């Protein structure tokens, strides 16, 4: 009777204990079979049923549920028990003894869940949330090895992590994509991202780790602070004017378990902006790339340094004054610092080097004339750090921009110009000599099909190349993206999202933020997101069609509104999901650090306090001079007026 495919001719259920059942009739009105469980529903004349016994040995009583005159019995059957089809049976009751008879008919065997093909199971798992997949993996670790193995496959976690990255930034290692990591590495990264998203939206986010980093020169204010890609190395900049020197000390910190100073460089001149990157050689040694726009003895310069990052504490400070007058040479195995490029302002340019950005081995710096009337064309100098190729781009737009900003990506450069209440964003394909080396690109474009607007690629400079070679002028050609952000209050003071690293997943959009404070009303934050084009290795034959983007409005809570307010040191992550800034009330002199959460798993955008005016920390927000924020890791670095640096992990 218990064999596979056998018939069940009769099943008897005995209920004893209540004499009032004599003379009553019970009906078996539902009989269902789910996996190894049998579900029976009986309707009887009274509800005083207390005990139930089963005649067949392969059935075990699991639950009895009594509701009014109906009671449901759930019976557990063995894995080789017969399958039952729902049938009706009248059950006679005599002297408190209830006998239920059910007949079974043979049915085709249905495959169980674990018998499904692996591709179907993976298709099901991909549609689950990451917490559900982790729970399934844990539950199957002792019961079903096949399910457990499928829950650990790289294919599954590549899909899950890619889907999660569209909503929540992932804390990927520097220069690493999702597809390059195995499932064992992606699982903790996804879990960390989910926990951070939950913590960031709490009324009072928890600080998981707090460390103090001792800065360079004592009592010298932190001018700027930023993370190297991966947020494992921190760079601080301190101008040495209070110490009587026209120079800046750049200090590189390893902020691992025990923070230490990995390198320090004192560069001559007055720097305006800096951009940093990181490289790893074949031996696993890391070097930082530091690009500066600087004025040295009245000369406008673009400089690029390579700084070797020590794996142990390095108390020495390298003085780069001697490098400025030397010929550029490659870094030797014993050198800590090398000046890779020392570029003077081109003869065809006026004004000064101003903004500088870096992506991989490409540097872009703007040239602006601060003394001319608005409308004078800005210029951009492009530099390939590895080959030494330089190109000068004239930015010739019909609009009169009050401010211009550039963002660099592996295959394109995005130029944003600000008008009174409008932003105009255009993306252009980079010239071929600035694209990262790839077999795909080398075979997709031959010299005969290269766009005429780009001059032929020049050969790499020799190691002893002179620094006075003039860059070749080029035209970037028609834009591959042309967007207008309209009705954006305080457009000139826009805050762009940071550029993703060269190895990070390409950001699907570029986000801009502005803040508006009007006395007597609630403060507002405006966010506008422009979708970026897919990777393009050549400019289009015709300009991209212009489209409009309109900002969304976020009303700040009353605790962050009212009075005369200003924001300082705003930072917005590459995905535009999280950001921070210092907010100052000029009237009350109250200063706090504010956070924004835009989208994510929690839904809409929110703005709340991150650090109050009087936090339980060894510093107060009114002493903050600079901020650095890693969006994916929730890692915040603060530099103070007295030179102290602290790192807060959320």
Kindly state the percentage of the chain with pLDDT values over 90.
46
Q: How far is CA 388 from the centre of its chain?
A: 32
d(CA 349, CA 367): 7
Q: Does 315 score more than 80 pLDDT?
A: yes
Per-residue pLDDT tens over the stretch 563-598: 788 999 999 999 999 999 999 998 888 999 999 999
Asked if 78 and 31 sit in the same domain, the reply is yes
For residue 166, tell me if it sits in a domain. yes
For residue 476, tell me if it sits in a domain. no
Output 509 or 323, whichever has higher pLDDT.
Answer: 509
- Residue 488, judged by CB atoms within 10 A of its CB (0-12, 13-18, 19+), counts as buried
Q: Does 417 score more than 80 pLDDT?
A: yes
What rounded mean pLDDT belongs to the chain?
Answer: 78
The shares of helix, strand and coil residues in the chain, as percent rounded to the nearest 5, are 15, 40, 45
For residue 639, tell me if it sits in a domain. no
For residue 37, tell me if it sits in a domain. yes
What band does 177 get if pLDDT is binned at 50, 70 and 90?
confident
d(CA 105, CA 109): 12
Q: Does 604 score more than 50 pLDDT?
A: yes
For residue 24, tell me if it sits in a domain. yes
- Domain C-terminal end among 200, 228, 248: 200
Output 83 or 284, whichever has higher pLDDT.
Answer: 284
Q: How confident is the model over 248-259, as a mean pLDDT?
A: 92
Residue 132's domain comprises 113-200
What band does 18 get if pLDDT is binned at 50, 70 and 90?
very low
Q: Where are the alpha helices (DSSP H) in 445-568?
A: none
Q: Does 24 score more than 60 pLDDT?
A: no
Q: What is the pLDDT of residue 374?
A: 53
Q: In terms of Cα–Cα distance, which of 77, 102, 86 is closest to 3?
A: 77
Q: How many domains are there within the chain?
A: 2
What DSSP string describes 428-476?
Answer: EEPPGGGSPP-HHHHHH--GGGS-TTSPPPPPPPPTT--S-PPPEEE--
What band does 372 get if pLDDT is binned at 50, 70 and 90?
low
For residue 132, tell me if it sits in a domain. yes
The beta-strand segments (E) located in 541-615 are: 547-549, 552-555, 565-572, 578-585, 590-597, 606-611
Q: Structure pTM?
A: 0.77
Output 139 or 239, whichever has higher pLDDT.
Answer: 239
- Domain C-terminal end among 171, 200, 229: 200
For residue 529, tell me if it sits in a domain. no
Q: Where are the alpha helices (DSSP H) in 241-373?
A: 321-324
- Domain C-terminal end among 180, 200, 220: 200
d(CA 408, CA 498): 10
Domain harbouring 136, CATH code: 1.20.1280
Asked if 83 and 19 sit in the same domain, the reply is yes
What band does 311 get if pLDDT is binned at 50, 70 and 90?
confident
Per-residue pLDDT tens over the stretch 48-75: 333 343 434 444 444 444 444 444 454 4
Output 492 or 14, whichever has higher pLDDT.
Answer: 492
């Amino acid at each position: 009777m218990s064999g596979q495919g056998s018939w069940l001719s009769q099943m008897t259920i005995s209920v004893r204990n209540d004499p009032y059942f004599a003379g009553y009739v019970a009906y078996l009105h539902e009989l269902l079979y789910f996996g190894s469980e049998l579900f029976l529903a009986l309707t009887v004349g009274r509800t005083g049923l207390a005990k139930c016994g089963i005649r067949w040995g392969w059935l075990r009583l699991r639950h009895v549920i009594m509701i009014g005159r109906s009671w449901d019995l759930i019976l557990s059957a063995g894995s080789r028990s017969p399958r039952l089809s729902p049938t009706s049976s009248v059950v006679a009751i005599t002297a408190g003894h209830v006998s239920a008879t059910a007949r079974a008919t043979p049915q085709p065997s249905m495959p169980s869940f674990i018998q499904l093909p692996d591709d179907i199971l993976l298709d099901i798992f991909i549609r689950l949330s990451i917490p559900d997949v982790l729970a399934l993996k844990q539950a199957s670790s002792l019961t079903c090895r096949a399910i457990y193995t499928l829950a650990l496959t790289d294919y599954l976690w590549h899909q899950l992590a890619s889907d999660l990255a569209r909503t929540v930034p992932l804390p990927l290692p520097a220069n690493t994509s999702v597809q390059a990591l195995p499932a064992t590495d992606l699982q903790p990264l996804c879990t960390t991202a989910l926990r951070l998203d939950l913590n960031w939206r709490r009324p009072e986010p928890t600080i998981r780790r707090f460390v103090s980093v001792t800065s360079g020169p004592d009592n010298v204010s932190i001018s700027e602070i930023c993370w190297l890609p991966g947020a494992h190395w921190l760079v601080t900049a301190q101008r040495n004017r209070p110490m009587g020197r026209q120079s800046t000390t750049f200090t590189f910190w390893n902020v691992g378990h025990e923070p230490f100073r990995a390198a320090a460089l004192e560069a001559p001149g007055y720097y305006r902006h800096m951009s940093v990157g990181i490289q790893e050689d074949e031996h696993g040694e890391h070097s930082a790339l530091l690009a500066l726009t600087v004025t040295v003895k009245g000369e406008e310069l673009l400089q690029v340094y390579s700084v070797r990052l020590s794996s142990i504490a390095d108390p020495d400070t390298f003085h780069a004054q001697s490098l400025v007058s030397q010929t550029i040479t490659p870094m030797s195995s014993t050198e800590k610092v090398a000046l890779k490029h020392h570029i003077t302002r081109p003869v065809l340019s006026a004004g000064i080097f101003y903004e500088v950005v870096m992506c991989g081995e490409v540097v872009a710096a703007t040239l602006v004339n601060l003394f001319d009337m608005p409308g004078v064309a800005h210029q951009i100098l492009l530099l390939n750090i590895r080959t030494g190729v330089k190109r000068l781009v004239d930015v010739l737009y019909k609009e009169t921009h009050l401010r211009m900003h550039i963002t660099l990506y592996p295959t394109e450069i995005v130029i944003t110009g600000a008008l009174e209440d409008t932003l105009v964003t255009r993306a252009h394909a980079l010239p071929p000599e600035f694209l990262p080396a790839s077999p795909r690109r080398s075979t997709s474009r031959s010299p005969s099909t290269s766009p005429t607007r780009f001059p032929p690629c020049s050969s790499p400079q020799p190691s002893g190349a002179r620094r006075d070679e003039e860059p070749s002028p080029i035209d970037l050609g028609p834009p591959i993206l042309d967007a207008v952000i309209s009705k954006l209050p305080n457009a000139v003071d826009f805050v762009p999202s940071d550029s993703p690293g060269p190895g990070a997943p390409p950001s699907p959009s570029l986000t801009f933020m502005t803040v508006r404070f009007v006395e007597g009303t609630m403060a507002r934050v405006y966010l506008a997101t422009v979708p970026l084009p897919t990777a393009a290795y050549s400019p289009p034959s015709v300009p991209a069609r212009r489209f409009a983007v309109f900002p969304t409005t976020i009303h700040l809570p009353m605790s962050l509104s009212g009075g005369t307010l200003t924001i300082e040191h705003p930072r917005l992550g590459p995905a535009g999901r999280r950001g921070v800034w210092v907010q100052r009330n000029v009237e009350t002199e109250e200063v706090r650090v504010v956070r924004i959460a835009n989208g994510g798993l929690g839904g809409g955008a929110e703005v709340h306090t991150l650090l109050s005016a009087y936090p339980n920390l060894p510093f107060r927000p009114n002493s903050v001079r600079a901020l650095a924020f890693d969006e994916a890791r929730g890692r915040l670095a603060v530099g103070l007026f007295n030179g102290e640096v602290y790192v807060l992990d959320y």
